[in-house]
């Protein structure tokens, strides 16, 4: 199709690159279907592929829209639909209702498999996984409000405590009783660093470093830590048994920020969902001087469709630099978001010898 770089388009189809969704669609003349570049369907033969700048042009050529990737539906429409499903699930969770895929399918008028796939493509998790996350959040709220663990389990819509306890420590990083106490049994020691990247709060529990955050003021950074552990014992770096280890961990972090050296082997106290912890552990394996796209990370953790969920895991990371989410960029070569600001992300990458841009990203994809 005139006006499109067909070589570039074909490479995007081969890589199923979501960065090109909306820029063009491709049609397969042997099947009569047109798709988004990121469609997960089997790759066609090049000789059977035609490229179109818009879905309307593809339809004018006699092709019909793929039912899997829905190329006629804009990203904003897909996000709006997924938000509507999420709101419905969240409301059911707040009411303590039990919800099945059959209930969801009946309410939204879609087959269960179709609804599950379309929701997962946008959100990164299935509707029932999303519902479970809502229940866990309700469970946390009940504990914070002073309810007993047993009452909180049933108020959040869990039929019993057994399933909850199977994964509660991985979700919260502590037991329900500890969480109910707002971290009252935890002792957290913290210290401040100031340097080329600004003010940094470093905090640790007896398990390891639990927070490394950039910020503009000590007051704001301490407020963030206190919100997560409202009744934990927080104290500046004078705390008994953890004082010497924390000082060593801080020294290792200072060396990393000063010279961009190898990743220090520090004990980390990770607190998040099983999926997020899996993403964070993979990020720690990315070598200095290299980057990955959100899609590549999703594929590496075994869920190729979860690029958005990977981005959310990066945004939820509270261990700056130690979990190097700054090494994750967009497929187009753009920086993408960063919890502590794009300028810091650019500076951290520059310290490691990386200059993000379309050309460098394309070179990296070609090598991989």
CATH code where residue 357 lies:
1.10.10.10
* Length, in residues, of the chain: 368
**To which residue do tokens 């006006």 refer?**
3
Give domain status of residue 173, yes or no: yes
- CATH code: domain of residue 10: 3.40.10.10
Residue 196 is given by DSSP the state T
Give domain status of residue 264, yes or no: no
Give domain status of residue 266, yes or no: no
Q: Which two tokens stand for residue 309?
A: 């969920």
> Quick one: pLDDT at residue 28?
95
The conformational region for residue 173 under phi > 0 = left, psi -120 to 50 = alpha, else beta, is left
Residue 18 is given by DSSP the state G
Q: What is the mean pLDDT of each run of 10 residues along the chain (368 residues)?
A: 78 83 88 90 91 89 88 68 82 75 87 82 76 70 56 54 48 48 67 84 84 89 81 68 65 75 71 80 89 92 84 88 91 83 89 65 37
The pair phi, psi for residue 35, each rounded to 5°, is -140, 170
Question: Based on the domain organization, do 106 and 174 belong to the same domain?
Answer: yes
298's enclosing H/E stretch is helix 294-300
Give domain status of residue 1, yes or no: no
> Quick one: pLDDT at residue 42?
86
Question: Based on the domain organization, do 335 and 356 belong to the same domain?
Answer: yes
Please check whether residue 172 is in contact with residue 214, taking contact to mean a CB–CB distance below 8 angstroms.
no
Q: Which two tokens stand for residue 97?
A: 């209702």
> Quick one: pLDDT at residue 242?
47
Of 76, 17, 89, 26, which Cα lies nearest the Cα of 53? Answer: 26
Looking at the chain, the number of H-run helices and the number of E-run strands are 16, 10
pTM summary value: 0.52
Question: Based on the domain organization, do 172 and 203 belong to the same domain?
Answer: no
Which range marks the domain in which residue 289 is found?
Answer: 274-367
The catalytic residues are 35, 325
CB proximity list for 233: less than 8 A, separation 6 or greater:
184, 186, 187, 188
Domain count, the chain: 4
């Amino acid at each position: 199709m005139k006006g499109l770089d067909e070589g570039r388009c074909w490479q995007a189809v081969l890589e199923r690159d979501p960065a090109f969704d909306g820029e063009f669609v491709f049609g397969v003349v042997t099947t009569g279907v047109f798709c988004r570049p990121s469609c997960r369907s089997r790759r066609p033969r090049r000789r059977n592929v035609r490229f179109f700048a818009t879905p309307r042009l593809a339809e004018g050529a006699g092709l019909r829209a793929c039912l899997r990737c829905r190329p006629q539906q804009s990203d904003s429409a897909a996000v709006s639909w997924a938000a509507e499903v999420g709101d419905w699930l969240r409301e059911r969770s707040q009411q303590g209702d039990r919800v099945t895929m059959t209930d969801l399918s009946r309410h939204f008028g879609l087959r269960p498999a179709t609804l599950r796939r379309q929701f997962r493509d946008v959100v990164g998790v299935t509707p029932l996984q999303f519902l479970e996350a809502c229940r866990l959040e309700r469970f946390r709220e009940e504990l914070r409000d002073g309810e007993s663990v047993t009452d909180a389990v049933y108020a959040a819509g869990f039929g019993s405590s057994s399933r909850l306890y199977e994964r509660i420590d991985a979700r919260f990083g502590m037991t329900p009783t500890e969480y109910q106490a707002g971290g009252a049994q935890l002792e957290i020691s913290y210290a401040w660093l100031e340097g080329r990247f600004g003010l940094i709060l470093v905090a640790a529990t007896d398990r390891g470093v639990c927070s490394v955050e950039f910020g503009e003021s000590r007051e704001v950074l301490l407020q963030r830590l206190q919100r997560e552990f409202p009744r934990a014992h927080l104290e500046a770096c004078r705390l008994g048994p953890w004082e010497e280890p924390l000082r060593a961990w801080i020294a290792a972090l200072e060396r990393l920020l000063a010279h961009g050296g190898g990743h220090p082997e520090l004990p980390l106290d990770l607190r998040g969902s099983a999926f997020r912890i899996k993403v964070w552990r993979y990020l720690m394996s990315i070598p200095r001087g290299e980057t990955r796209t959100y899609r590549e990370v999703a594929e590496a953790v075994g869920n190729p469709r979860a690029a958005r969920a990977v981005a959310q895991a990066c945004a939820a990371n509270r261990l700056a630099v130690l979990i190097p989410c700054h090494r994750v960029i967009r497929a187009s070569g753009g920086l993408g978001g960063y919890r502590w600001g794009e300028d810091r992300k650019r500076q951290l990458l520059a310290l490691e010898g990386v200059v993000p841009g379309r050309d460098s990203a394309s070179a990296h994809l070609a090598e991989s």
